[in-house]
Structure 1
Amino acid sequence: MYKILIIDRCQFSRHGLEKWLTQGHTFTSPVMVTSLNSLLLAREHIEHWQPSLVIADLSGFQDDPSQTQLITSIFAACGERSQVILLQYRPTRNYTHHAAVLVTLSKKTQLQHITNMIESALSSRPWLNYTHTISPLLTRQEEKVLSLWLEGVSNPLIAGMLSISGKTVYTYKRNIRLKLRMDNRFSPFLSPGERIIERTS
């Protein structure tokens, strides 16, 4: 079994790619796929889940200065364990100098070519035989809470959108901070440099 992580800010693109990858006939070996719209969460997933392949569209993140260091940390987290296919919506900065980047493709590339590139990338990675189910770092509900939290949505509004109580939102946020080793409730909004300064002061 191979593990694939999709990173994309576009919900439709992310879920469409996840559905296509998990169709039984797409690849010769079974794949386990998870998709995220947060670079912070993606980095933690790469470090703990250690996917065989990361498929990322960074074009939605690159214009945000607070995301620049996180993009670099994604490549650093991949190291030699995880290869990266950049599947970009629009032309972006050149990331090919990062050792983890296998290839950069346009989202307009024919599906057969994308399939061939993914198959080639997976075949160069070790095949893992899982005898038990792997649990993701955060639950789906925690991922939803984190996504809304990062967008600056208030606790009462998060509670209303997810049909849960305000106390449950607080509990989810506490669990997210513990799992992602965040120092305080403002950590998701600080750049990595600001977090270091905050820790030392």
Structure 2
Amino acid sequence: MYKILVIDRCHFSRNGLKEWLNHPDYFTASFSVTGIDNLLHAREHILQWQPNMVIADFYSFMGELHHIQQLSSIFAACGNTTRLILLQSGHAAVLDDYCAMQNSWRSAEKSLSLQGLRTLIQEALVSRPPFGEPKPVTPLLTLREERVLSLWSEGTSNEVIAAAMRITVKTVYTYKRNIRMKLGADNRFSLFLALPETMAAG
């Protein structure tokens, strides 16, 4: 059984791909498909679950992507053993340029026909090398920083974050400062504002 991870902000895309991949009329292979709509958790999911393939629409996250380097840990986690197919729902120059320099296996638009996508998936499965030794992956944010950012983005107070993570409030402030620096946020509010029109549209 092949494992496929779908990274997409759209609920319908994730579930639609899952249903289509598991339809016996389209594929003879058997798939276990998992969908995820959170970039912060995608890297850990790839490292722990070790899918044969990742199908990602990074464009769907452009409204919440504050620094293009956030995607680096996902590319690194896929490495040379997990085939990464970018199935983008739109274009942004900053995203297109960054992805062109990374190690994705193929890139296509979401408007690709199902037959075209089926061919891509079959080629990816045939060409995928066996899993090698796990390689260290250096993420943009540490796991604890990802946890702080996740709680922070939900509106959790510093005191509650500190209690949940068993750290001091002062340490929460330090994590937040480091997160802002790594993500290029000018202030503590800009992480949660929509991106400027020019960045989102590219």
TM-score > 0.5 by shorter chain: yes
Q: 1:152 is matched with which residue?
A: 154
Cα displacement (A) at 1:112:
0.2
Q: 1:98 is matched with which residue?
A: 102
- Pair 1:110–1:70, CA change in 2 (3 A): same
- Pair 1:121–1:151, CA change in 2 (3 A): same
- Pair 1:126–1:11, CA change in 2 (3 A): same
Instruction: Kindly report which structure 2 residues correspond to 1:29-178, keeping only aligned pairs within 5 A, or say none.
Output: 29-66=29-66, 68-92=68-92, 93-94=95-96, 95-99=99-103, 101-125=104-128, 152=154
Runs of 4+ in 1 over 4 A off after TM superposition: 148-151
Q: 1:143 is matched with which residue?
A: none
Instruction: Kindly report which structure 2 residues correspond to 1:169-188, keeping only aligned pairs within 5 A, or say none.
Output: none
- Pair 1:52–1:12, CA change in 2 (3 A): same
- Pair 1:27–1:96, CA change in 2 (3 A): farther
8 Å contact 2:7–2:57 — kept in the other structure?
yes
Which structure has more relative contact order (CA 8 Å, sep 6+)? It is 2
Gaps of 5+ in 1: 129-147, 155-169, 178-182, 195-201
Please tell me the residue identity of whatever aligns with 1:152.
E
TM-score relative to the length of structure 2: 0.62
Cα distance in 2 between the residues matched to 1:64 and 1:50: 26
Gaps of 5+ in 2: 132-149, 166-170, 184-202
Please tell me the residue identity of whatever aligns with 2:16.
G
TM-score relative to the length of structure 1: 0.63
Percent sequence identity is: 38
Cα displacement (A) at 1:63:
4.2
Q: 2:147 is matched with which residue?
A: none
Higher helix share: 2
